[in-house]
């Protein structure tokens, strides 16, 4: 239990980071207060945390490489094997200095409490740190504790935060993985690690034409609903619905992406009846959701894999993997890729919690009606 008074310097800031890592905040945004989304960086942009910004909007307004006209040409770039299942979304950081040179990097938190950094173009592991469950058992029973959290990158771009199974939030240097062990870090998040873990978020944005949309994905399907205000009273008007269901949708450059329950990543036209544009194969999903960053789509799955999709390009030489995270790099095809092999996800232990099904996630990203070729 936290006591009043006597908190160390920076406690409020650290508590904010802990709350964001736990995913227990939601923000209702007005058009005047909406965030710009992903953070600009030299030669591209960063995706610093779950759904891209502090509001968790899933509203990527900086993507320019992927469009409704070319998304059907996406192909698998690589599929990396992870040390354990990563049940959340990756974070993305460009131009990071490491001992092996400058890398664009992905950061993932695994259910086993690992935080690992991968090269965003090859899937090769750069560093890894472990915060395992130890003796922690769910509800003090027989099942090992796990986390479904996602990492968050500090606005300074120097550190990444990750939840461990030791009941603490940890802070690491992005380039080396060295842990910060001063100034109150690692920060205690719970003294009941056997019974407490993260949740999901709700967020709002406004369309380019002034209208607002809600995109809901759950176990029954994905739907687009338009926010209508009549006489000062808001209501949601159903516009479209389709199967299969899935997890947290995001919007990038007028295209809606989500991880579907049928082991795929799907791209839809968000405000025109959810017209399908493309799909790519991954393993089964639980809470995993994709990110879009600088013309690439990344998603983890329940097969302990991270899969990357990109547009066709001339193949480039790929460094030989030198670590425990292995990746198979595939030259991008010139057409829609052939599905890769999938398998039924291994069963996971479910702790006693308020969620027993795929959660309801609501987003109102900034949209423009895209032009679809053909």
Model pLDDT for residues 132-165, shown as the tens digit of each residue: 888 888 888 888 888 888 888 888 899 998 888 8
Average pLDDT, the chain: 74
Question: Do the domain assignments include residue 37?
Answer: yes
User: How, if at all, do strands 233-242 and 221-230 pair?
Assistant: antiparallel
Query: Could you tell me which of 208, 269, 212, 271 has the C-alpha nearest to residue 236?
Result: 212
Weakest mean pLDDT among 171-180, 203-212, 278-287: 203-212
Phi and psi, residue 33, nearest 5°: -110, 5
Question: Do the domain assignments include residue 7?
Answer: no
Question: Do the domain assignments include residue 304?
Answer: yes
Question: Do the domain assignments include residue 372?
Answer: no
* Res. 359: pLDDT tops 90: no
Question: Do the domain assignments include residue 323?
Answer: yes
* Res. 91: pLDDT tops 60: yes
Q: Which residues are bridge partners to 275 per DSSP?
A: 269
Question: Do the domain assignments include residue 121?
Answer: yes
CA distance 305 to 307: 6
Range from 122-126, 203-207, 286-290 that averages highest in pLDDT:
122-126
pLDDT of residue 116: 96
pLDDT-based confidence at residue 271 (cuts at 50, 70, 90) = confident
CA distance 21 to 88: 11
Specify whether the CB–CB gap between 136 and 127 falls below 8 A: no
User: How, if at all, do strands 212-218 and 152-153 pair?
Assistant: unpaired
Bond preceding residue 244 cis, omega within 30 of 0: yes
Phi and psi, residue 72, nearest 5°: -65, -15
pLDDT-based confidence at residue 207 (cuts at 50, 70, 90) = low
* Res. 369: pLDDT tops 60: no
CA distance 327 to 237: 44
Domain of 20 in residue numbering reads as 12-363
Question: Do the domain assignments include residue 368?
Answer: no
Q: How many domains does the chain have?
A: 1
pLDDT of residue 238: 84
What element of type H or E holds 17? helix 11-22
Which CATH number does the domain housing residue 354 bear? Answer: 2.130.10
pLDDT-based confidence at residue 325 (cuts at 50, 70, 90) = low
For the record, the structure tokens of 162 come out as 């990750």
Q: Which residues are bridge partners to 45 per DSSP?
A: 40
Q: Which residue has the higher pLDDT, 184 or 235?
A: 184
Specify whether the CB–CB gap between 282 and 264 falls below 8 A: yes
Q: Which residue has the higher pLDDT, 258 or 321?
A: 258
Phi and psi, residue 12, nearest 5°: -60, -40
pLDDT-based confidence at residue 292 (cuts at 50, 70, 90) = very high
pLDDT-based confidence at residue 83 (cuts at 50, 70, 90) = very high
Query: Could you tell me which of 147, 134, 132 has the C-alpha nearest to residue 198?
Result: 147
Question: Do the domain assignments include residue 322?
Answer: yes
The mean per-residue pLDDT over the stretch 311-318 comes to: 64
| Residues in the chain, total | 374
Range from 86-100, 129-143, 219-233, 347-361 that averages highest in pLDDT:
86-100
């Amino acid at each position: 239990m936290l006591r009043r008074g006597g908190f160390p310097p920076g406690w409020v800031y650290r508590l904010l980071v802990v709350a964001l890592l736990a995913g227990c905040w939601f923000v209702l945004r007005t058009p005047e207060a909406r965030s710009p989304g992903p953070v600009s960086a030299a030669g591209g942009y960063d995706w610093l945390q779950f759904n891209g910004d502090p509001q968790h909007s899933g509203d990527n307004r900086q993507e320019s490489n992927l469009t409704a006209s070319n998304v059907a040409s996406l192909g698998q770039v690589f599929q990396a094997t992870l040390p354990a299942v990563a049940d959340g979304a990756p974070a993305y950081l460009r131009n990071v200095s490491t001992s092996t040179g400058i890398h664009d990097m992905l950061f993932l938190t695994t259910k086993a409490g690992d935080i690992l950094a991968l090269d965003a173009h090859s899937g090769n592991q750069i560093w890894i740190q472990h915060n395992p469950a130890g003796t922690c058992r769910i509800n003090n029973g027989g099942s090992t504790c796990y986390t479904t959290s996602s990492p968050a990158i500090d606005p300074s771009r120097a550190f990444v935060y990750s939840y461990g199974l030791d009941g603490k939030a940890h802070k690491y240097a992005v380039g080396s993985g060295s842990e910060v062990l001063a100034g109150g870090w690692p920060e205690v998040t719970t003294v009941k690690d056997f019974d407490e873990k993260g949740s999901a978020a709700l967020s709002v944005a406004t369309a380019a034409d002034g209208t607002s949309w809600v995109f809901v994905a759950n176990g029954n399907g994905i739907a687009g609903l338009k926010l209508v205000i009549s006489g000062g009273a808001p209501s949601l008007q159903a516009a479209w619905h389709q199967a299969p269901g899935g997890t947290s949708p995001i919007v990038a450059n007028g295209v809606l992406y989500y991880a579907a329950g049928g082991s795929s990543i799907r791209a839809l036209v968000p405000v025109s009846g959810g017209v399908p544009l493309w799909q790519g194969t991954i393993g089964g999903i639980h809470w995993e959701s994709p990110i879009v960053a600088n013309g690439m789509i990344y998603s983890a799955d329940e097969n302990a894999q991270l899969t990357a999709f990109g547009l066709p390009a001339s193949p480039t030489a790929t460094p030989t993997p030198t670590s425990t995270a292995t990746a198979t790099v595939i030259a991008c095809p010139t057409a829609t890729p052939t599905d890769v092999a999938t398998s039924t996800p291994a069963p996971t232990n479910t702790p006693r919690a308020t969620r027993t099904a795929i959660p309801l996630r609501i987003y109102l990203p900034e949209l423009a009606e895209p032009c679809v070729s053909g």
